[in-house]
Structure 1
Amino acid sequence: MIDILISKSIKDLEGIILLQKKNLRSDLSINEIKEQGFVTVSHTLDDLQKMHHHEPNIIAKNGDDVIAYVLGMTEQSKNDIPRLVEMYESFDHIQYKGRPVSNYQYVVVGQVCVDKNYRGQGLFDRCYQAYKEYFKDRYEFAITEIASINLRSMKAHERIGFSTINTYTDQTDTEWNVVVWDWR
């Protein structure tokens, strides 16, 4: 039986890391990247503990195994994890409905992943619905960045309601879409 819940323990965070490592772009073949999607950032347990201090994550578990997750990050996370500073500062320059993103109350989807053995079963949608239910009373929307080449992820995010508000190319020539899921 699959349960959707918030992360509560070190074991839950370790389960996120284990699933993340199986899906890192750097460790996948070109075909896997194209067909299955990928995650880009590898978090440490310390990173996840700092993020969890501000907000929990939504996880799906089958028994003791974490089989899906949606990470929750707040602006306070940028002070804990230096590599996030650039993304948060970019929100000062990205407009959403005529205002800088930084002027809104938002939660950042730090990453989303579903174990490949559980894909195509609606788990992505169920986890995101739980994410919305948990955060919608405190935040106006969820925002994240998705690499343009990650077509599976782009399509899945668009299907549940995310829309692209900005596109940019980073210093490694990777094109990124900044997407928002408005809950108002």
Structure 2
Amino acid sequence: MSLIFKTAETYEEFVGILDLQQENHIKNLESLDQGFVFAEHTVEDLWKMNSFAPHIIAKDDEHVAAYILAMTVDCKDDIEMLIPMFEEFDQLEYKGIPLSEYNYLVVGQVAVGKEYRGQGVFDYCYEVYRAVHGDNFDFAITEISDQNYRSLAAHYRVGFRELSRYPNADGDIWVIVVWDWME
């Protein structure tokens, strides 16, 4: 396996992200023990988000093996199911300061293809993510379902720490985690 880690740039790479998103979408999985994603995007969504802060991908030849989406507050109203997350962010403080006063980057979603798991791909994608975005943002933040044990453990492993928890309209619990790049 020789993966290339890079920013997403082409239409074909965005389609590859969407293909991997569908492979890992909660509605398409028989078991949730390997992690899952909830939100669904379009190529147009990915292009717009990428124009503010590029997504990171791992490619195996032309195949997208993994991705981490980048999302800024400029896109907070674009993905309907993510609006409650941004509303929750607006209620929170980090180190005694409202989140809205920080320049933060939202991890829009992460997925690693089945055949690439357990090989450090997740961790290395996040190293590249921080290398690309660390000078431009104070921290990365995201929310993860408390049922997504694999994702929570992986995010804690790379340096994310829990900031808050909240129930959504369906009663599902979401864990808001922050990876502080100012430390």
TM-based fold match above 0.5 = yes
Task: Describe the SS at the equivalent of 1:76.
Answer: helix
Q: Residue 45 of structure 1 aligns with which residue?
A: 43
**TM, length-normalised to structure 2:** 0.95
Unpaired segments of 5 or more residues in structure 1? none
8 Å CA contact 1:77–1:84 kept in 2: the answer is no
1:26 matched residue in structure 2: 27
Aligned: 1:151 with 2:146: no
User: Matches of 1:39 and 1:28 in 2, distance apart?
Assistant: 10
Q: How many pairs does the alignment contain?
A: 181
Equivalent pair of 1:165/1:180 in contact (CA under 8 Å): yes
**2: CA distance, partners of 1:75 / 1:50:** 12
Any idea what the Cα deviations from partners look like across 1:143-168, whole Å, max 9, x if unmatched?
00000000000000001110010000
8 Å CA contact 1:50, 1:80 repeated in 2: no
Q: Matches of residues 37-76 of structure 1 in structure 2 within 5 Å?
A: 37-76=35-74
- Check conservation: 1:144, 1:178, Cα contact below 8 A: yes
The one-letter amino acid of 1:69's match is Y
- Matched with 1:100 is 98
User: 1:55 and 1:61 mapped to 2: Cα distance?
Assistant: 19
Q: TM-score, normalised by structure 1?
A: 0.95
Q: Percent identity?
A: 45
**What amino acid maps onto 2:26 in structure 1?**
R
The one of 89, 95, 113 aligned to 1:91: 89
2:14 corresponds to 1:13: yes
- Whether the aligned pair in 1 keeps the contact of 2:39 and 2:81 (CA below 8 Å) is no
Tell me, in whole angstroms, the C-alpha distance in 2 between the residues paired with 1:21 and 1:68.
12
What is the rounded CA distance, in whole Å, between the counterparts of 2:171 and 2:37 in structure 1?
17
Give the drift of 1:82.
Answer: 4.1
